[in-house]
Amino acid sequence: MAPGDVAALLTLLQTPQTHWGWLGSLADDDLGAVIRHWRERLLVGPAGSQALYRFHDNRTLARALAHLPTQQWPAFLGPLISVCYWQGEHWCSADNPMPGEYPVPDPALWLNVPNPQAMTILQTNILRYLLAEHSEDLSRLAEHQDPKVWLNNVLEQARAWQWQSPEQLEFLVVQRLAEAVGTAVIRWQSMPGEVAVDHFQRVVEQWRRSQREKCHG
């Protein structure tokens, strides 16, 4: 390793809180196998709606290793003999029990790892969307209550009703915002024994009727 490489590595090791990635060890200097391994795991989801799996993020790696049983580590880590990564407040290391080349299993269990930051990310993205597309209503809301507290209450309602799809969340958040600033009134509560999909469709149809009545009123 050249002196410049050593200096760069030391800089990274001294700033783990920036989440620059993680370190892995190989049996030799041939990177071909590990490149193929992560390339095969980079894109996830069905064709047409694929996303990038952030395997390079130390937080992603830490969550996966904490969640996966040890016997699943080889399929996840592939040719890597061991990995070293920053986990919140300290360095951690993990040894791959059987380094080698493996096909991507179906299902890939590391894609089902719960993300403790998922709700924070969702709230941030929703508030950005409202700021971009419904800024006037959001500003009026902020005059009398904290938008983050309001949104948290709306998302709690979504969980209680099992409205989790993007379409359902967008409708609930946008219409609740309109209601909060006095431009809409919807009877939201579910009927006894009503399943989530029927509840959502009934409320949407109620809203559509109200919009038609406004147009003809």
Question: DSSP states of 10-72 as a string?
Answer: HHHHT-GGG----EEE-SSS--HHHHHHHHTTTEESSTTS-EE--TTSHHHHHHHHHHS-GGG
Answer yes or no: do 16 and 68 share one domain: yes
Answer yes or no: do 106 and 37 share one domain: yes
Answer yes or no: do 105 and 153 share one domain: no
Answer yes or no: do 194 and 128 share one domain: yes
Picking from 8, 94, 80, the residue whose alpha carbon sits closest to that of residue 41 is: 80
With H, G, I as helix, E, B as strand and everything else as coil, classify residue 171: helix
| Strand partners for 94 | 83
Single-letter amino acid, residue 95: D
Answer yes or no: do 95 and 129 share one domain: no
Picking from 175, 145, 146, 172, the residue whose alpha carbon sits closest to that of residue 160 is: 172
Taking the C-alpha atoms of residue 148 and residue 127, their distance in angstroms, rounded to an integer, is 8
Taking the C-alpha atoms of residue 66 and residue 88, their distance in angstroms, rounded to an integer, is 13
Answer yes or no: do 87 and 138 share one domain: no
- Token pair 């590391």 is found at 110
Answer yes or no: do 25 and 108 share one domain: yes
Answer yes or no: do 108 and 125 share one domain: no
Sign of dihedral through CA atoms 98, 58, 125, 53?
negative
Q: Are 173 and 154 in contact (CB under 8 A)?
A: yes
**Domain end point (choices 112, 127, 150):** 112
**Domain end point (choices 112, 137, 164):** 112
**Domain end point (choices 93, 112, 131):** 112
Neighbour tally for 147: CB within 10 Å: 18
Q: Which domain holds residue 173?
A: 118-216
Answer yes or no: do 83 and 159 share one domain: no
Answer yes or no: do 123 and 107 share one domain: no
Q: What's the pLDDT score for residue 212?
A: 83
Answer yes or no: do 9 and 92 share one domain: yes
Is the N-terminal amide bond of 107 cis, ω within 30° of 0?
yes
Determine the Cα angle at 126 with ends 116 and 131, to 5°: 140
Q: What's the pLDDT score for residue 137?
A: 94
Q: Which residues of the chain have pLDDT under 70?
A: 1-4, 183-184, 216-217
Answer yes or no: do 11 and 92 share one domain: yes
Domain tally for the chain?
A: 2
Q: What's the pLDDT score for residue 1?
A: 54
Is the overall model pTM greater than 0.85, yes or no? Answer: no
Residues 6+ apart with CB under 8 A from 172: 154, 157, 158, 163
